[in-house]
Chain A
Amino acid sequence: MTNIPILSLLIFFPFLGSLIILFINKNDKSYKNKVKEIGLWTSIINFFLSLALLYSFDKTESQFQFIESFKLINDLNIYYYLGIDGISLSFILLTTLLIPICIITSWNKINEHIGYFIVSFLIIECFLIGLFSSLDLFIFFIFFEGSLIPLFLIIGIWGGENRIYASYKFFFYTIFGSLLMLLGILTLYFYSGTSNLTLLMKTNIPFTLQIWLFLSFFASFAIKIPMWPFHTWLPDAHVEAPTAGSVILAGILLKLGGYGFLRFSLPLFPEASDFFTPLIFILSLVSIIYISILALSQNNIKKLIAYSSVAHMGFVTLGIFSRNLEGLQGSVYQMISHGLISAALFLSAGFLIDKMQTKKIDDFGGLWKQMPKFSIFFMIFCLGAISFPGTTGFIGEFLILLGVFKINFLISFIAAFGIILSACYILWLYNRVCFGNNNYNNITDLSTKDSLVFLIFLLLIVILGIYPNMLMSIYELSTNKLIIN
């Protein structure tokens, strides 16, 4: 097993699939079906590959595993250097799980440019897996920024009415942050002479330099996660993106920020992280409270879920910068759990919007009678979003609050209000969507295919909520290592 470059295989298998799609004859009658099937099978095979990765992953080993390394650019000492630990593995699993689901759920909805659509998703999959498994800053950056191209096209081509504005906003926010990060990477590279993460962790960087570098990385990650003053691209992008695009955005793209903080900011700039912790705590608290209040006043279902994502990500940054075991483990758990729950919520919202052709919450109502299956699924996803015990959301937020409590009582006290607020807006959303008067007559419930997809999410949310060790054992040692360093 060790001789197979399984990470490269995971990264480039979707790329191979998309190359095959480019060579299919477009005049063929069954062109659309062929494209979809190739896309689906590629992503499903990739999912099983990632399960094989999980199977051969050594949970008792805290070092990076499945190392692959060869020199990419000779004169700059840039290596194609891959390797994963538990944290990256969890995110890789999340990615490979969500991509086939995205393709399944848009099976009948996307008719225009179907080839581009599937290719975009496959390319985004290969960039995301690459980014989670890269241990060289340059390679990381290439994958990180490369994921912009397909997502820009996904929002712009298949989005809603205001899609051009949304895609531009998304693009420029992200590119601004990531180019600042590129300058940071270059400075770091010239300071230490290497872009290799494992070597960089051993170098001591002077404090003032750390501050600047931290800020340049922070610009990128805070926009991506997104944190309070930098969050305005997110609601637009979510509202305009097609359902599958929202799923990818909320499910994985938002986690890049948190992943970046864990992988780069904390280990590379520990003193600067200490220095900026109060600032980040304040920004996170504002994210949690202020954005939750904003979410209360939304009448657009996708916008509400988008704002709730920002609030939940506020918990993640709190947990990461509390820098103790509970906080870190909680924030990784919260990210995975939010990846599942928000993906499920966006799928539900997309399902409703397709049925009713409206995004306004006021237009829904009384769906309980006509869509009993959907209502049950939606209920459980909503409970997950308010971190109800028994769902994954609870584990994550509970651990984070525990971790923050150890540092500062007041912060965890205020943050706990976020949970109450999330209960307010989510339950109110559920109330307005499923109960009350019925405005529609001929609505069909979930089809078998949709139910199956929803069931996958439901099982994952509940099982991981009841037995968290299943997921936590994967990344336990990796988060412990962060503390020790």
Chain B
Amino acid sequence: MQLSDIKSFSPEIILIFGSIFILVYGIFFTKSKDLNKNIFYITFVSLILSFYFSIYVVDLGTNSFNNLLNNDLYTLFFKILAFTGTIIITYISYNYLKDLDILKPEFFFLILISLTGILILISSRNIISMYLSLELQSICLYILAAYRKYDVKSSEAGVKYFIIGSLASGILLYELSIIYAFTNATDFYEISKSINLSLENNENFLILNLGFVLILCGLFFKIAIVPFHMWAPDVYEGSATPITAYFTTIPKIGAIGFLIKFLNIPFESYSDAWFQILYLVSIASMFLGSIAAVKQNNIKRLLAYSSISHMGFILIGILTDNHLGIKSAQLYISIYMVNILGIFTCVLCLKNKINGYYLENIINFSGLSKKNPFLSFSLAILLFSLAGLPPLSGFFAKLYILITAVESKLYLLAVIAVLASIISAFYYLKIIKTIFFDKSVNDIYINIPTGSRLIILITLIISIFLIIFLSDFLEIIDATSLISNL
């Protein structure tokens, strides 16, 4: 280990120290009145500090720890997304958990550690670091899913997620060992070299192919796309709402960022194979996600299915395997994150007046437009944006995906994407319908903290005015795209 390794690992080190500090602080000051507040501040400061370090201190374009990790602009892009999302989620979950009186130091510890796992996953270039970081984040996520431990659904979510998740991890680990056995390498570039060599010698190992496919299955499980999506709706519904917001965004950002890299570096020469796999999987995700969401009444379940369908769209960008495609996937996931977080922030402002529960059932939103024009307007704009209506940001995300598909002459896929997006418009409209067209119910209690108002405003402005600075944003993506960083 060298000094430069520590330098490039500094954001993760800060997060780890921050989280350990939270635990220690939580043990020694259990009776302190300001315990929760202080712990929130510690989390916030360590997030910001780590964010700062990952932008200004880490040397980009370098490898560290004997090529276990590498940092370049591409990883930085996904890390910035993950940081922004986590900061927002930390804020909204602080209010939510404090309100339900289940705020404990462990929560922030788990968030920080899982974020560390995601950050390492994004920058890993070795199957060892990849597997370790994937497990690091997954285990935190299992616990987070069961965080409301007295709630039956939450416990069920945790157990379900844990069992299926560990199965996926097991398969992943097994297949990684097969890859190591055949290529005798753990580094992505060396795996790629070794595979190319065997292809040149016309050696085709069936079991290597199988290993590759099963690794994809493991990764698909983590992103929750069809046919490995079964856990997602239940887990999303059972978890506490801000944790659902976390599940729908941050681990997916990490996994998508890693998936693009994984497909394009070690398995570059397999592109024909994974093209077909991704093709089918993306069609299945878009359709199942859209159709299954139509019948949902719980907004978390609905967003779970919709996120499956959005992941299907992102896969279109990935499978075209060119600069434009990866760029559009990056654009899509950033716009998706902004909109989803805005929606979750809005939803977390709504409570039932009588029993104080947070509203989750869509029917309970009825007549919100009379109660609070600001919230209903924001929700409408964000949902229209997710449905992909111009001139809102979600349209440009879908436009770029369609452009990619048409440019690669995948007309069938483009038509299917259009149909799926029409179906998905249906359930977004269902929420808007409930908010605006239905008769108002009197038992909505609305509390918008200043920070939430700010978050909603920012997401709203991004959604409406993205068209103006889209060009600049695309330039940023261009610079950070994987292919320009290879």
Contacts and interface: CB of A to CB of B under 8 A. Distances in A.
Contact of B474 (A74, A141, A148, A156): A74
A142 B425 contact: no
19 contacts: A26-B373, A72-B467, A72-B470, A73-B471, A74-B471, A74-B474, A112-B370, A113-B369, A113-B373, A143-B390, A145-B395, A149-B384, A152-B429, A157-B369, A168-B433, A172-B426, A179-B421, A183-B414, A190-B406
B407 interface: yes
Interface string B389-433: 111000100010011001100010011001001100110010001
B436 interface: yes
A71 interface: yes
A183 B390 contact: no
Interface of B: 369-370, 373, 377, 380, 384, 389-391, 395, 399, 402-403, 406-407, 411, 414-415, 418, 421-422, 425-426, 429, 433, 436-437, 467, 470-471, 474-475, 478
B373 A74 contact: no
Contacts of B471: 71-75
Interface in A94-116: 112-113, 115-116
Contact of A75 (B369, B370, B474): B474
Given A179-B418, A183-B402, A142 B395 contact: yes
Given A116-B373, A164-B433, A141 B390 contact: yes
Given A142-B391, A142-B395, A73 B470 contact: yes
Contacts, number: 89
B405 to A, nearest CB: 8
A183 B429 contact: no
Contact of A182 (B384, B418, B437, B478): B418
A76 B407 CA distance: 12
Contacts of A176: 422
B424 to A, nearest CB: 11
B369 A116 contact: yes
Contacts of B390: 141-143, 145-146
Contacts of A143: 390-391
Interface residues of A, number: 39
A33 interface: no
A427 interface: no
Interface string A43-82: 0000000000000000000000000000111111000000
A453 interface: no
Question: Interface centre among B369, B390, B436, B474, by most A CB within 10 Å?
Answer: B390
Contacts of B380: 153
A175 B406 contact: no
B102 to A, nearest CB: 35
4 shortest A-B CB distances, which residue pairs? A142-B390, A186-B406, A179-B418, A156-B437
Given A73-B471, A142-B390, A186 B433 contact: no
Contacts of A26: 373
A172 B422 contact: yes
A451 interface: no
Given A141-B390, A171-B429, A182-B418, 18 more contacts: A72-B470, A115-B373, A116-B369, A142-B390, A142-B467, A149-B389, A164-B433, A164-B437, A167-B437, A168-B433, A172-B425, A172-B426, A175-B389, A176-B422, A179-B421, A183-B406, A189-B403, A190-B406
B84 to A, nearest CB: 23
A157 B436 contact: yes
A148 B418 contact: no
A312 interface: no
Contacts of B395: 142, 145
B30 to A, nearest CB: 45
A143 to B, nearest CB: 8
A338 interface: no
A142 B389 CA distance: 8
Contact of A156 (B370, B411, B415, B433): B433
B71 to A, nearest CB: 26
Given A71-B471, A76-B403, A146 B391 contact: yes
B421 A145 contact: no
Contacts of A180: 418
A83 to B, nearest CB: 19
A437 interface: no
Question: Interface centre among A142, A180, A190, by most B CB within 10 Å?
Answer: A142
Given A74-B475, A187-B406, A168 B384 contact: no
B433 A153 contact: no
A163 interface: yes
A148 B391 CA distance: 11
A171 B437 CA distance: 15
A148 B373 CA distance: 20
B389 A148 contact: yes
Contact of B478 (A75, A145, A148, A175): A75
Nearest to B475: A74
A75 to B, nearest CB: 6
Interface in A140-170: 141-143, 145-146, 148-149, 152-153, 156-157, 163-164, 167-168
B403 A157 contact: no
A146 B389 contact: yes
B402 A186 contact: yes
Contacts of B407: 190
Contact of A175 (B370, B422, B470): B422
Interface in A119-148: 138, 141-143, 145-146, 148
Nearest to B402: A186
